[in-house]
Structure 1
């Protein structure tokens, strides 16, 4: 069956009255980052199957991160063994769509009427648009925030209730907290990956590429300022050169004053802290208060199924996962901000939750600053992320000066981009 024929068949099925499928359909679903998502994924699947007895949702072994998840699905697709539905990092949807693997969801949404009435705003729909189609629906969105150990701030003579808004203030506070000694560090910025790099870069008003996508956009003053912050956090602020989860563990153990990371970590942070210390959250500092923006992290569901019945079942599950009910489960269990506009406005879903949980409001308050997580064109997106991380690591580990690392990073990324 051709892709167009399969799509038309699926749309026709959705146009018919909502009758139970003739026999149970099992769909296989893939996602990444189980440390963040596992509990909410299980809850959403259980609630969906309780309401839809004609569909069985089975999860494949999750990938440890978005990059590994993309590479896994692309390899499986070569052999025709891709899952029916995959949840990919928002910056990886483009690569899936450009390979003609993603089902265009636009006709399916149109069959249900006004997408806005379903809670899908144009801005949120744009997060799943790529290669000229509606390649996915955003499932979880995040932005970077500051996790603050209020006890360490008070020990250093600082006020945790006064958010720091500039990087100079952050570095000075980090220096004072590090001076407490005994293995205490003032700050930890989780630098691995292009998302946290873009958080700094976009905050300075920078871009990953120029608007025409003809050349690298981070090689200028904004990119230099971005690496400069990381360099100063290490040299002046005493930031440790920990990798990945080691930074989160050090923060949870009460040895880090400020932890810069995604809102997605919030529920995990609250659960892991116990009575270790008092936690608060701040808005993410922006180097340029006027031009600065923040990248939208998170994931989108992409339907890869080829069989019409499984396409329909996968779409139904994705719609539930991104509905007000699914969004409420996801937000409460993680810290991501809502992907469905109806969820935040309804007290039965999240309205009352935010009033009772002020730590979760920090990310919501930053939503007007959110812009898409940039996706590099061409087939080398994952390799580009590694190049960026490797060169940032050289700066953090004090193995290369800022200008050298920036020039190398720009040159290496340029070589991996498609040629005109």
Structure 2
């Protein structure tokens, strides 16, 4: 299926872009993305693009291990004048990237390219929620390539054994807590759920806890903590409540509960949809794995932070920028997005991809869950200044103590707000 999709994708691009092939002959685009293990999402699409544009060569630079390291690489490149032509920037680091490049005149707004395509093209391909992920202060600097909002992965076999219905997985936190306790009651070394927010290497789930309540990480002026209020206290109390009510073994590393899930010993936990395919392949026939939407605390105003990245143009030469734009359009086009969604579980960022994926989603509902959350996708907030990594290090220590019951939610909120504010100065 994958190779057939790429063949169709390449043919469609060739027919649509034939006049461009000669214009960009013998041109090389240097491209950078993070996460070496994700290269399989990029190379086949780049190969299809090159097939559609004879004479054009896509060269990938060595992939840094994560988005933070990738931003450091690009920042160093900016100082030496050796930036990639296209860079897939993580949403969580896009703001500091533009903050570094813009004063030097090295950030390339995509507004002129989008306006040349026309409003109808824009409306047909990208929703406002998705486009917002690639914006900084309202300016479109990137087009989202892949996106993920947290979803629930659950063991359908354990749910059934506990008297639950996999077809009607709970859609709220109290329902999930009740189900987790039923799974706990199965006995042995089986556990109901894990929601150890401080166990992962980013603040993604912490931001989700704030944004699902309609809150903000910082004030609108970016100078003060946005959840130092009743909403933030509610989030802290909820984190403690989940851990206490389910007798959860609060984890310091995600690997422990991930391995328990693979072994069929954990009912459910929350993580990225990008792992749907790999999880299903790892689990095999040991049990039936299913996915469910994230249970928003505020179903009207709640949003979820989006992981993933946006394609950003950094080429200096105007002619090369035009080719880079064609590459960005191709990578975020409906066929490309459908291909990536099928190969991973990421929610597609192109609206037209839904039509391409209709039959696939019907046959593979685990992949459809993330796509259903596109309308509540919000930017993963990037803190201003150089201390974003230090901010999460301080925050996760507090969250861990609160979930373990070693610090009250009230004292936890005071501490996390104070430490975050100090690191923003």
Report the TM range for the smaller structure's normalisation: 0.7 to 0.9
Three-state SS of the structure 1 residue aligned to 2:163 is coil
Deviations, residues 309-366 of structure 1 (Å, cap 9, x unaligned): 543333322221101121111111121222111221x3xx222222222222222222
Q: Does 1:354 align with 2:361?
A: yes
Aligned pairs, how many?
Answer: 398
Q: Does 1:145 align with 2:151?
A: yes
Residue of structure 1 equivalent to 2:335? 325
Q: Return the offset for 1:155.
A: 2.5
Three-state SS of the structure 1 residue aligned to 2:327 is helix
Residue of structure 2 equivalent to 1:393? 400
Please point out which of 151, 163, 169 is paired with 2:169.
163
TM-score normalised according to structure 2 size: 0.84
Counterpart mapping for 1:231-380 below 5 A: 231-237=240-246, 238-344=248-354, 346=355, 349-380=356-387
Q: Does 1:74 align with 2:81?
A: no
Three-state SS of the structure 2 residue aligned to 1:26 is strand
Distance 1:333 1:239 in 2: 33
Query: Which stretch of the first structure deviates more once superposed, 158-167 or 73-82?
Result: 73-82
Please point out which of 112, 115, 132 is paired with 1:110.
115
Three-state SS of the structure 1 residue aligned to 2:167 is coil
Distance 1:34 1:22 in 2: 28
- Go from structure 1 to structure 2 and tell me whether the alpha carbon gap of 1:171 and 1:30 turns closer, same or farther (over 3 Å shift): same
Residue of structure 2 equivalent to 1:31? 33
Three-state SS of the structure 2 residue aligned to 1:266 is helix
Three-state SS of the structure 1 residue aligned to 2:243 is helix
Distance 2:183 2:39 in 1: 34
The answer on whether the counterparts of 1:205 and 1:291 sit within 8 Å (CA) in structure 2 is yes
Unaligned runs of 5+ in 2: 1-18
Q: Does 1:198 align with 2:204?
A: no
- Go from structure 1 to structure 2 and tell me whether the alpha carbon gap of 1:397 and 1:351 turns closer, same or farther (over 3 Å shift): same
The answer on whether the counterparts of 1:195 and 1:295 sit within 8 Å (CA) in structure 2 is yes
Distance 2:126 2:220 in 1: 26
Query: Which stretch of the first structure deviates more once superposed, 164-173 or 237-246?
Result: 237-246
Distance 1:25 1:246 in 2: 47
Distance 2:406 2:55 in 1: 57
Counterpart mapping for 1:209-228 below 5 A: 209-228=218-237
Three-state SS of the structure 2 residue aligned to 1:291 is coil
Q: Return the offset for 1:246.
A: 4.1
Three-state SS of the structure 1 residue aligned to 2:168 is coil
The answer on whether the counterparts of 2:130 and 2:374 sit within 8 Å (CA) in structure 1 is no
Q: Return the offset for 1:93.
A: 1.4
Residue of structure 1 equivalent to 2:89? 88
The answer on whether the counterparts of 2:315 and 2:324 sit within 8 Å (CA) in structure 1 is yes
Deviations, residues 220-267 of structure 1 (Å, cap 9, x unaligned): 222223233332333332244041344333322222211111222222
Deviations, residues 262-303 of structure 1 (Å, cap 9, x unaligned): 222222222222112111221211222333222233211112
The answer on whether the counterparts of 1:153 and 1:257 sit within 8 Å (CA) in structure 2 is yes
Distance 1:314 1:33 in 2: 21
Three-state SS of the structure 1 residue aligned to 2:352 is helix
Higher helix share: 2
Q: Return the offset for 1:150.
A: 0.9
Deviations, residues 368-410 of structure 1 (Å, cap 9, x unaligned): 3333322333443343333333432333455533333322221
The answer on whether the counterparts of 1:25 and 1:309 sit within 8 Å (CA) in structure 2 is no
Query: Which stretch of the first structure deviates more once superposed, 163-172 or 73-82?
Result: 73-82
Residue of structure 2 equivalent to 1:13? none
- Go from structure 1 to structure 2 and tell me whether the alpha carbon gap of 1:69 and 1:178 turns closer, same or farther (over 3 Å shift): farther
Deviations, residues 52-77 of structure 1 (Å, cap 9, x unaligned): 23222222332333333323332343
Distance 2:36 2:141 in 1: 23
Residue of structure 1 equivalent to 2:136? 130
Q: Does 1:20 align with 2:22?
A: yes
Three-state SS of the structure 1 residue aligned to 2:270 is strand
